[in-house]
Amino acid sequence: MPLDSRIKVVRGTAIPKPQPNQDTDDIIPSDYLNSITFKEMGKGIYGLERLSSDGIPKSDHPFNNPSYQGAKVALVGQNYGCGSSRQHAVFAVHGWGIRAVLAPSYAEIFEGNAPPVGLVAAYVTQENLGLLVNAVVEDPKTEFEVDLDRKEVRYKGKSVPIDMPEGTRQAFLTGSWDSLPPLMKDEDGIRSLEQRLPYLSFGTVSENIRPLQETPTQDIVGETIKRPKEKVD
Protein backbone atom coordinates (compact mmCIF):
# COMPACT_ATOMS: atom_id res chain seq x y z
CA MET A 1 0.00 0.00 0.00
CA PRO A 2 1.57 3.32 -1.03
CA LEU A 3 2.34 5.84 1.70
CA ASP A 4 0.25 9.02 1.73
CA SER A 5 2.18 11.81 3.42
CA ARG A 6 -0.09 14.66 2.38
CA ILE A 7 -0.98 17.05 5.21
CA LYS A 8 -3.99 19.18 4.41
CA VAL A 9 -5.63 19.69 7.80
CA VAL A 10 -4.35 19.27 11.36
CA ARG A 11 -7.19 18.70 13.81
CA GLY A 12 -7.13 18.62 17.58
CA THR A 13 -7.03 20.55 20.81
CA ALA A 14 -4.34 23.12 21.54
CA ILE A 15 -1.79 23.99 24.19
CA PRO A 16 -1.04 27.67 24.91
CA LYS A 17 2.53 28.86 25.51
CA PRO A 18 2.54 32.34 23.97
CA GLN A 19 5.68 33.77 25.57
CA PRO A 20 8.03 35.29 22.94
CA ASN A 21 11.60 34.22 22.17
CA GLN A 22 11.38 30.59 23.27
CA ASP A 23 14.75 29.30 22.16
CA THR A 24 15.77 25.81 21.13
CA ASP A 25 17.80 25.29 24.31
CA ASP A 26 14.59 25.80 26.29
CA ILE A 27 12.53 23.61 23.98
CA ILE A 28 14.95 20.68 24.35
CA PRO A 29 17.77 21.20 26.90
CA SER A 30 21.11 19.52 26.30
CA ASP A 31 20.43 17.16 29.23
CA TYR A 32 17.91 15.39 27.01
CA LEU A 33 19.98 14.98 23.86
CA ASN A 34 21.31 11.53 24.76
CA SER A 35 18.51 9.57 23.11
CA ILE A 36 19.60 7.04 20.51
CA THR A 37 16.71 7.98 18.22
CA PHE A 38 14.67 11.12 17.76
CA LYS A 39 11.50 9.29 18.77
CA GLU A 40 12.27 9.81 22.46
CA MET A 41 12.91 13.55 22.19
CA GLY A 42 9.35 14.44 23.18
CA LYS A 43 10.01 13.29 26.74
CA GLY A 44 12.52 16.09 27.20
CA ILE A 45 10.45 18.96 25.86
CA TYR A 46 10.97 22.03 28.08
CA GLY A 47 12.70 19.67 30.48
CA LEU A 48 14.50 22.24 32.62
CA GLU A 49 11.53 24.55 33.07
CA ARG A 50 8.86 21.84 33.13
CA LEU A 51 10.52 19.58 35.72
CA SER A 52 12.05 20.26 39.12
CA SER A 53 15.66 19.35 39.88
CA ASP A 54 14.29 16.06 41.22
CA GLY A 55 12.50 15.36 37.94
CA ILE A 56 9.05 16.11 39.39
CA PRO A 57 6.62 17.78 36.93
CA LYS A 58 5.71 21.37 37.86
CA SER A 59 1.95 21.74 38.06
CA ASP A 60 1.95 25.31 36.70
CA HIS A 61 3.63 24.45 33.40
CA PRO A 62 1.21 24.17 30.45
CA PHE A 63 2.89 21.02 29.14
CA ASN A 64 2.12 19.36 32.49
CA ASN A 65 -1.48 20.57 32.65
CA PRO A 66 -3.81 17.54 32.31
CA SER A 67 -6.29 19.70 30.39
CA TYR A 68 -3.81 20.14 27.54
CA GLN A 69 -2.56 16.58 27.24
CA GLY A 70 -3.04 15.11 23.78
CA ALA A 71 -2.98 18.51 22.09
CA LYS A 72 -2.06 18.57 18.41
CA VAL A 73 -1.65 22.34 18.06
CA ALA A 74 0.79 24.58 19.95
CA LEU A 75 0.04 28.29 20.28
CA VAL A 76 3.42 29.96 20.81
CA GLY A 77 4.97 33.42 20.85
CA GLN A 78 6.92 35.39 18.28
CA ASN A 79 10.45 34.41 17.27
CA TYR A 80 9.76 30.82 18.27
CA GLY A 81 12.73 28.46 18.05
CA CYS A 82 15.40 31.15 18.24
CA GLY A 83 18.85 30.69 19.75
CA SER A 84 21.02 27.84 18.54
CA SER A 85 20.43 25.77 15.41
CA ARG A 86 19.58 22.71 17.51
CA GLN A 87 17.61 20.49 15.12
CA HIS A 88 16.43 18.36 18.03
CA ALA A 89 13.91 21.10 18.92
CA VAL A 90 11.50 20.23 16.12
CA PHE A 91 11.81 16.54 16.99
CA ALA A 92 10.95 17.34 20.61
CA VAL A 93 7.83 19.27 19.62
CA HIS A 94 6.76 16.59 17.15
CA GLY A 95 7.67 13.81 19.57
CA TRP A 96 5.43 15.28 22.25
CA GLY A 97 2.53 14.93 19.83
CA ILE A 98 2.26 18.41 18.34
CA ARG A 99 1.56 18.43 14.61
CA ALA A 100 1.05 22.16 14.01
CA VAL A 101 2.60 25.23 15.60
CA LEU A 102 1.05 28.69 15.27
CA ALA A 103 3.14 31.80 15.96
CA PRO A 104 3.54 35.39 14.73
CA SER A 105 7.13 34.60 13.67
CA TYR A 106 9.81 31.91 13.80
CA ALA A 107 13.56 31.71 13.88
CA GLU A 108 14.66 30.94 10.33
CA ILE A 109 16.47 27.68 11.13
CA PHE A 110 13.60 26.28 13.23
CA GLU A 111 11.14 27.11 10.45
CA GLY A 112 13.36 25.31 7.94
CA ASN A 113 13.80 22.26 10.17
CA ALA A 114 10.08 21.79 10.76
CA PRO A 115 8.76 20.57 7.36
CA PRO A 116 11.11 17.56 6.93
CA VAL A 117 9.77 16.24 10.25
CA GLY A 118 6.14 16.75 9.23
CA LEU A 119 5.64 19.64 11.65
CA VAL A 120 3.46 22.45 10.30
CA ALA A 121 4.74 25.88 11.34
CA ALA A 122 2.22 28.51 10.25
CA TYR A 123 1.97 32.23 10.87
CA VAL A 124 -0.85 34.03 12.68
CA THR A 125 -0.91 37.68 13.65
CA GLN A 126 -0.23 38.64 17.26
CA GLU A 127 -3.84 39.75 17.61
CA ASN A 128 -5.24 36.47 16.29
CA LEU A 129 -2.82 34.48 18.44
CA GLY A 130 -4.40 36.21 21.43
CA LEU A 131 -7.85 35.17 20.27
CA LEU A 132 -6.77 31.54 19.90
CA VAL A 133 -5.05 31.51 23.29
CA ASN A 134 -8.10 33.00 24.99
CA ALA A 135 -10.33 30.37 23.40
CA VAL A 136 -8.27 27.45 24.64
CA VAL A 137 -7.73 28.94 28.12
CA GLU A 138 -11.48 29.39 28.49
CA ASP A 139 -12.18 25.89 27.19
CA PRO A 140 -9.25 23.47 26.84
CA LYS A 141 -11.50 21.08 24.93
CA THR A 142 -11.83 23.54 22.05
CA GLU A 143 -11.15 21.77 18.75
CA PHE A 144 -9.02 23.52 16.16
CA GLU A 145 -8.66 22.82 12.46
CA VAL A 146 -5.48 24.13 10.86
CA ASP A 147 -6.45 24.05 7.19
CA LEU A 148 -3.49 24.44 4.86
CA ASP A 149 -5.62 24.26 1.75
CA ARG A 150 -7.87 27.15 2.78
CA LYS A 151 -5.12 28.88 4.79
CA GLU A 152 -7.17 29.33 7.93
CA VAL A 153 -7.67 28.05 11.47
CA ARG A 154 -11.24 27.17 12.42
CA TYR A 155 -12.60 26.90 15.94
CA LYS A 156 -16.03 27.26 17.54
CA GLY A 157 -17.60 28.46 14.29
CA LYS A 158 -14.94 31.14 13.85
CA SER A 159 -11.83 31.33 11.70
CA VAL A 160 -8.62 33.32 11.45
CA PRO A 161 -6.19 33.37 8.51
CA ILE A 162 -2.80 31.67 8.56
CA ASP A 163 0.17 32.00 6.27
CA MET A 164 3.39 30.19 5.38
CA PRO A 165 5.83 30.14 2.46
CA GLU A 166 3.97 28.85 -0.59
CA GLY A 167 6.62 26.26 -1.39
CA THR A 168 6.29 24.80 2.10
CA ARG A 169 2.50 24.80 1.91
CA GLN A 170 2.57 22.96 -1.41
CA ALA A 171 5.07 20.46 -0.01
CA PHE A 172 2.59 19.58 2.75
CA LEU A 173 -0.41 19.48 0.43
CA THR A 174 1.32 17.21 -2.09
CA GLY A 175 3.26 15.15 0.44
CA SER A 176 6.62 16.06 -1.07
CA TRP A 177 7.92 17.20 2.34
CA ASP A 178 8.49 13.49 3.03
CA SER A 179 11.34 11.93 1.04
CA LEU A 180 10.33 8.34 1.80
CA PRO A 181 7.26 7.80 -0.47
CA PRO A 182 9.10 8.71 -3.71
CA LEU A 183 11.80 6.22 -2.80
CA MET A 184 9.32 3.49 -1.94
CA LYS A 185 7.57 3.87 -5.29
CA ASP A 186 10.53 2.03 -6.79
CA GLU A 187 10.96 -0.58 -4.08
CA ASP A 188 11.86 -3.25 -6.65
CA GLY A 189 14.64 -1.05 -7.97
CA ILE A 190 15.93 -0.49 -4.44
CA ARG A 191 16.06 -4.24 -3.79
CA SER A 192 17.80 -4.84 -7.10
CA LEU A 193 20.45 -2.22 -6.38
CA GLU A 194 20.92 -3.61 -2.88
CA GLN A 195 21.84 -6.99 -4.32
CA ARG A 196 24.47 -5.41 -6.59
CA LEU A 197 26.29 -3.40 -3.94
CA PRO A 198 29.30 -5.43 -2.78
CA TYR A 199 29.60 -3.73 0.61
CA LEU A 200 26.08 -4.90 1.51
CA SER A 201 27.00 -8.55 0.85
CA PHE A 202 28.20 -9.18 4.38
CA GLY A 203 30.22 -12.36 4.81
CA THR A 204 31.14 -12.57 1.13
CA VAL A 205 34.82 -12.26 0.20
CA SER A 206 35.48 -10.56 -3.08
CA GLU A 207 37.82 -12.29 -5.54
CA ASN A 208 39.57 -8.96 -6.02
CA ILE A 209 40.75 -8.80 -2.42
CA ARG A 210 44.37 -9.93 -2.17
CA PRO A 211 45.37 -12.22 0.71
CA LEU A 212 47.70 -10.89 3.38
CA GLN A 213 51.03 -12.47 4.26
CA GLU A 214 52.67 -12.27 7.63
CA THR A 215 56.15 -10.68 7.74
CA PRO A 216 58.45 -10.24 10.73
CA THR A 217 58.35 -6.72 12.14
CA GLN A 218 60.16 -5.21 15.13
CA ASP A 219 57.87 -3.84 17.83
CA ILE A 220 58.78 -0.88 20.02
CA VAL A 221 60.69 -2.97 22.58
CA GLY A 222 62.72 -4.91 20.06
CA GLU A 223 60.83 -8.18 20.14
CA THR A 224 60.09 -9.80 16.81
CA ILE A 225 56.34 -10.10 16.19
CA LYS A 226 54.29 -10.90 13.14
CA ARG A 227 52.20 -8.20 11.55
CA PRO A 228 50.11 -8.56 8.39
CA LYS A 229 51.42 -6.91 5.28
CA GLU A 230 49.67 -6.53 1.96
CA LYS A 231 51.04 -8.83 -0.70
CA VAL A 232 52.79 -7.00 -3.52
CA ASP A 233 52.95 -8.52 -6.98
Is the same domain home to 126 and 197? Answer: no
Statement to judge: residues 173 and 191 lie in one domain: no
Q: Count up the domains in the chain and report the number.
A: 2
- Regarding whether 115 and 19 lie in a shared domain, the answer is yes
Query: Does 2 reside within a domain?
Result: no
Same domain? For 87 and 68 the reply is yes
| 109 and 142 belong to one structural domain | yes
Residue 3 lies in a domain: no
Three-state SS string over the chain comes to CCCCCCCCEEEECEEEECCCCCEHHHHCCHHHCCCCCHHHHHHHCCHHHHECCCCCECCCCHHHCHHHCCCCEEEECCCECECCCCCHHHHHHHHHCCCEEEECCECHHHHHHCHHHCCEEEECCHHHHHHHHHHHHHCCCCCEEEECCCCEEEECCEEEECECCHHHHHHHHHCCCCCHHHHHCCHHHHHHHHHHCHHHCCCCCCCCCCCEEEEEEECCCCCEEEEEEECCC
- Is pTM beyond 0.75? Reply is yes
Q: From first to last of its 233 residues, what are the pLDDT tens digits of the chain?
A: 346 789 999 999 999 999 999 999 999 999 888 877 777 889 999 999 999 988 899 999 999 999 999 999 999 999 999 998 898 999 999 999 999 999 999 999 999 999 999 999 999 999 999 999 999 999 999 999 999 999 999 999 999 999 999 999 999 999 888 777 767 777 888 888 888 888 776 655 555 545 555 545 444 444 444 455 555 55
Domain that holds residue 220: 187-230
Kindly report the CATH number assigned to the domain that includes residue 21. 3.20.19.10
Same domain, 85 and 114: yes
Same domain, 80 and 99: yes
168 with 58, same domain?
yes
Residues 96 and 193 in one domain: no
In a domain, 36, yes or no: yes
